[in-house]
Amino acid sequence: MPKRSEDEVTTEELPPRIPILSARGTSHVHFEVEGVRYEGVRELEVRPNGERLLEVARRVGDGALSGPCLVRQLLSPFTFIQRQRMFEEVQLAFRLNHPNISQIFHVRVDEEEDAAYAVMEYVGGPSLETLVCAALVRGQPLSEGFGLYVGAEVADALHYAHTLTSEEGVPLGIIHRDVSPRHIALGQHGEVKVLDFGAAYSLLAGREESPEMLLRGDVAYSSPEYLRKERLTARSDVFSLGVMLVEVLTGKHLFEVHDLPVMAANETQFRLEAQPSLPLQQMQALMKTFNPDVVEKAVAHLNEDLKAVLHTALRLNPQERFAMAADMRDALRGVAHAQLHEPYGRGEAAVEAARVVSEGGVLRDQVEFGEAGLYPAGLEKHELGLKKE
């Protein structure tokens, strides 16, 4: 992992443009920073918002290969809010030093060339979104052991971020605001990584708060108070984590919008930074009728101890939820200790993830074309081991 410093936030060594990479084996030197060369390997993904994700290799000094990393390139021309989000994500990354939080090493915005890039930690395994979709395709959700393990690891990372202080001991007030399956990934050895703190709220000096009516992140996983633009606390991320775990453990999203009428966009005063996975207006309508019965219906088949954790995390009133993500972490680990016959950790998660990706990946194209898209647009084919067109 490259040595990072706050001076690297505005480094000028990155190139004005990174050429498109379409196949493994492409090995052009793209840029060099402090004696480390970054060589392109392949393009992994073009996201719906136009961002490109590239895998690059690092070579240090005498040419020894030191491992892969990622380069994220914004759509050109990029917007001010996209650029600001990238800078804010990097600003936080220099302070967030936790094994379950993915790191960002450098950022560069070139106004003349209209280009913006970030060099990021490489997480070699699939996103949780990929695993949930693959499990859905194969007709069997991820195991309770997997959900308990991932949930506890994410909660630990969130607690670290929530309780982080400045050098003077002043709380930074960091709330992720976008805890969702797309922003959780597994490393190659089963380690859990929380991604994309670009949507985070914090009191960090120099960070700009979102405009009053702007909602950042995927509202399908948002807490009730965020959908009302009320004050956010650690309990808000706890709620989002609860929604995510219900989906991991059941294969279904907690909020079902298909029975609600489509509502006109002008019926809400809020605007979204990115397209959500569920419509904002329907989410707001469902939240008005949300109660413990909704949770119980979704998790009825899970064991009672696990259900109790999810019910606590998913209380409508924030004061009735876990006060801290660490409390939810400890509760999940307690259930794992009491309910699982064998320990479940990185190794078990890596094995299960590989099996789910293999079983779901084989059926992906059949389901995608046969049922009009269980896999969301832009899902990374490289995560399923499929060839790019």
Catalytic residues: 178
Contact predicate 70/121, CB 8 Å:
yes
Helices 234-250, 128-138: axis angle to 10 degrees equals 30
| DSSP H/E element including 272 | strand 271-272
Q: Give the pair of three-digit tokens for residue 61.
A: 């000094």
Q: Give the pair of three-digit tokens for residue 287.
A: 């939240």
d(CA 184, CA 137): 20
The amino acid at residue 110 is D
Q: Give the pair of three-digit tokens for residue 371.
A: 């049922």
- Rg of the chain over Cα atoms, rounded to whole angstroms, equals 21
- Among candidates 241, 250, 254, which has minimal Cα distance to 313? 241
Sequence-ordered list of residues with C-beta below 8 angstroms from that of 176, at least 6 positions apart, any chain = 158, 161, 183, 194, 197, 199, 200, 237, 240
Q: Which residues of 223-249 are buried (b: 16+ CB within 10 A; e: fewer)?
A: bbbbbeeeebbbbbbbbbbbbbbbbbb
Neighbours of 385 (CB within 10 A): 12
- Among candidates 25, 30, 42, 32, which has minimal Cα distance to 2? 32
Q: Give the pair of three-digit tokens for residue 89.
A: 């994500």
